[in-house]
Amino acid sequence: MIPDSVRSDFPALGQQVHGHPLVYLDNAATTLKSQSVIDAINLHYQKESANVHRGVHFLSEQGTVKYEETRHTVQKFINALSEREIIFTKGTTESINLVAQCLGQQVLKEGDEILLSTMEHHSNIVPWQLVAEKTGAVIKVVPITDSGEIELEAYSQLLNEKTKIVSISYISNTLGSINPIKEMIELAHEKGALFVVDAAQAMAHIPVDVVDLDCDFLAFSAHKMFGPTGVGVLYGKESLLESMPPYQGGGAMIETVTFEKTTYNQLPEKFEAGTPHIAGVIALKDCIDYIQKVGLENIAEKEDQLLDYATQRLNMISGLKLIGTAKKKSAVISFTLEGAHPHDLGTLLDQQGIAIRTGHHCTQPLMKRFGITATARASFSFYNTKEEVDKLVDGIRKAQELL
Ligand SMILES: Cc1ncc(COP(=O)(O)O)c(C=O)c1O
């Protein structure tokens, strides 16, 4: 049970927008930030600012300890076997680009296949296209059903000895579908393919255990888990990360440099060139501590209740069509409304203080699959309430009258 008092942990929820209390239903784009995370960032810049890994002075050493504490916290949070398997990046997008560039160029040759699904975010499509262009590899796409579920039979048939990499989202940012990732990983491994999980939409909603999943790589962003933008994680199995060439060159990723030859640092520094987002990484620990304090089970329970209630109420609006009705779903609801362009609807809701997202949600191939160009999307977090669902429904009815 999550008490409503939890809302006071998120200062943004206390504000008015266009004269109405903010109803924030754009959590799949980015979550609000908890006070503990804001405090951690403030503290860093106010008193503890220093570069990490290079200094012998107090502040630098303190910063390094805190930075590495986050790595330890992430390792425990996703149950990775070693801290060396945790690479800090700018976010999911950079994590996937890193794998695509470093692993892709190493394992892919002409005619090899990369398997994605129709529901992938552009961040899990374009990096693979870039590496496919360079290597001559081919992208294959797993189809989905009308309700927005992976077609497992088709997936099994698409997997073959040419499939070298499979990269699939754990949870779709547009449909909310929770994909049967564990089963898919097992099937991929049977064919000798490596599996990358885009966990951007999973981390703040369901427990993720990389050993249990047996995924080879997993990517996520702090800003979708109540943390800062510009920070994320790439998890990779140590042996794979060991075998991959560095992503970028620069400070911290080297062991020795001469103009003739450079040798590289060990993991994880090999993949962390340059000064990182130190305050952001430090604050990521606070995000995880916060999520664990609230409890992922409690979060899932509350979000499931909100999903059920919102689905029921939205279904009663005439002309409203849900896009994505998978049996296993997280609290993301995409819909279209007869006679209303999603952007117009979004603007009218905004005037009532209700923040939703409209557009293709960086999933244009998915839009094409459903024969549409855009949806309206309400995405929930545990701090949302049934009253806010009611406001959304009333807001849509009002907008419907106006349009
Ligand atoms: C499923 C999914 N993958 C990848 C991304 C990209 O994340 P970021 O922009 O934080 O790198 C997002 C962001 O919305 C997403 O929802």
Q: Supply the DSSP symbol for 246.
A: P
3-state secondary structure of 287: helix
Distance CA 183, CA 264 (A): 36
CA-proximal residue: ligand 1, atom 15 (nearest): 200
Residues 41, 42, 47, CA angle at the centre, nearest 5°?
Answer: 110
Domain co-membership, 26 together with 75: no
Q: What is the pLDDT of residue 182?
A: 98
With beta carbons less than 8 A apart as the criterion, state whether 23 and 47 touch: no
Q: How many CA atoms lie within 13 A of 377 on its CB side?
A: 27
201 CB near ligand 1 (under 6 Å)? yes
- Specify whether 61 is located in the same domain as 174: yes
Return the closest-CA partner of residue 317 out of 300, 328, 332, 333.
333
Is residue 116 over pLDDT 90?
A: yes
Over residues 227-259, the pLDDT tens digits come to: 999 999 999 999 999 999 999 999 999 999 999
Is the CB of residue 124 below 6 angstroms from any atom belonging to ligand 1? yes
Query: Distance between CA 118 and CA 165 in Å, rounded?
Result: 16
Question: If DSSP codes are grouped into helix, strand and coil, which group holds residue 72?
Answer: helix
pLDDT above 90: residue 1: no
pLDDT score, position 265: 94
Dist CA 214 CA 300 (whole Å): 23
Say what the pLDDT of residue 135 is.
Answer: 97
**Ligand 1 touching residue 169 (CB < 6 A):** yes
Q: Let me know whether 240 and 352 are in one domain.
A: no
The encoded tokens of residue 120 equal: 């992938």
132 and 21 belong to one structural domain: no
67 and 129 fall within a common domain: yes
Using DSSP, state whether 313 is helix, strand or coil: helix
Q: Helical H runs in 81-236?
A: 92-99, 105-107, 126-135, 152-158, 181-190, 210-213
Query: For ligand 1, is residue 357 a contact (CB within 6 Å)?
Result: no
Ligand 1 centroid – CA 362 distance (Å): 9
Instruction: Please report, for the domain that includes residue 167, its CATH number.
Output: 3.40.640.10
Domain end residue (candidates: 272, 292, 312): 292
| Band (105; pLDDT cuts 50, 70, 90) | confident
The CB-side HSE value for 12 (13 A sphere, CA atoms) comes to 17
Residue 288 — pLDDT band, cuts 50, 70, 90?
Answer: very high
For residue 92, report the distance from its CA to the centre of ligand 1, in Å.
6
Question: How confident is residue 124, by pLDDT bands cut at 50, 70 and 90?
Answer: very high
Nearest CA to ligand 1 atom 9: 93
Rounded to whole angstroms, the Cα distance separating 274 from 251 reads 5
Domain that residue 137 falls in: 38-292
Q: What are phi and psi of 221, to 5 degrees?
A: -120, 140
Let me know whether 343 and 355 are in one domain. yes
Question: Relative to the CA of 91, which ligand 1 atom is closest?
Answer: 11
Predicted local confidence at residue 55, as pLDDT: 83
Average pLDDT of the chain to the nearest whole number = 97
- Co-location of 288 and 301 in the same domain: no
pLDDT more than 70, % of the chain: 100
Tokens of 175: 């449909």
Distance CA 250, CA 248 (A): 7
Q: Which of 264, 292, 320 is the endpoint of a domain?
A: 292
> Are 103 and 228 within one domain?
yes
Ligand 1 within 6 A of CB of 127: no
Report the C-alpha gap between 22 and 32 in whole angstroms: 12
Residues 121 and 211 in one domain: yes
Q: Are residues 166 and 19 in the same domain?
A: no
The model carries a pTM of 0.98
Determine if ligand 1 sits within 6 Å of the CB of residue 400: no
Is the shortest distance between the CB of 228 and ligand 1 below 6 Å?
no
Q: Catalytic residue numbers?
A: 362
Per-residue pLDDT averaged across 301-320, rounded? 98
Q: Are strands 194-198 and 217-221 parallel, antiparallel or unpaired?
A: parallel
> In this model, does residue 97 exceed pLDDT 90?
yes
Number of domains in the chain: 2
Percent of the chain's residues with pLDDT above 90: 98
Instruction: Kindly report the backbone phi and psi dihedral angles of residue 262, in degrees, each rounded to the nearest multiple of 5, phi listed first.
Output: -115, 140
What's the half-sphere exposure (Cβ side, CA atoms, 13 Å) at 198?
Answer: 28
Q: What value, to the nearest 5°, has the Cα angle with vertex 304 and ends 299 and 309?
A: 130
- Count of CB atoms situated within 10 Å of the CB of 192: 11
Task: Tell me the mean pLDDT in the region 84-89.
Answer: 98
What number does the ligand 1 atom closest to the CA of 123 have?
Answer: 4
- From the list 70, 11, 103, the residue with the least C-alpha distance to 281 is 70
C-alpha span between 292 and 285 (Å, rounded): 11
Question: Phi and psi (nearest 5°) for 236?
Answer: -145, 145
Is residue 119's pLDDT more than 90?
yes
240 and 387 co-located in one domain: no
Shared domain check, 23 and 133: no
Q: Predicted confidence band at 54 (pLDDT cuts at 50, 70, 90)?
A: confident
Q: pLDDT value at position 238? A: 98
pLDDT tens digit sequence for 162-215: 999 999 999 999 999 999 999 999 999 999 999 999 999 999 999 999 999 999
Q: Report CA(121)–ligand 1 centroid distance (Å).
A: 7
Residue where a domain terminates, one of 276, 292, 308: 292
> Which residue minimizes the CA distance to atom 7 of ligand 1?
92
Write down the H helix ranges in 227-277.
Answer: 238-243
Which pLDDT belongs to residue 53? 87
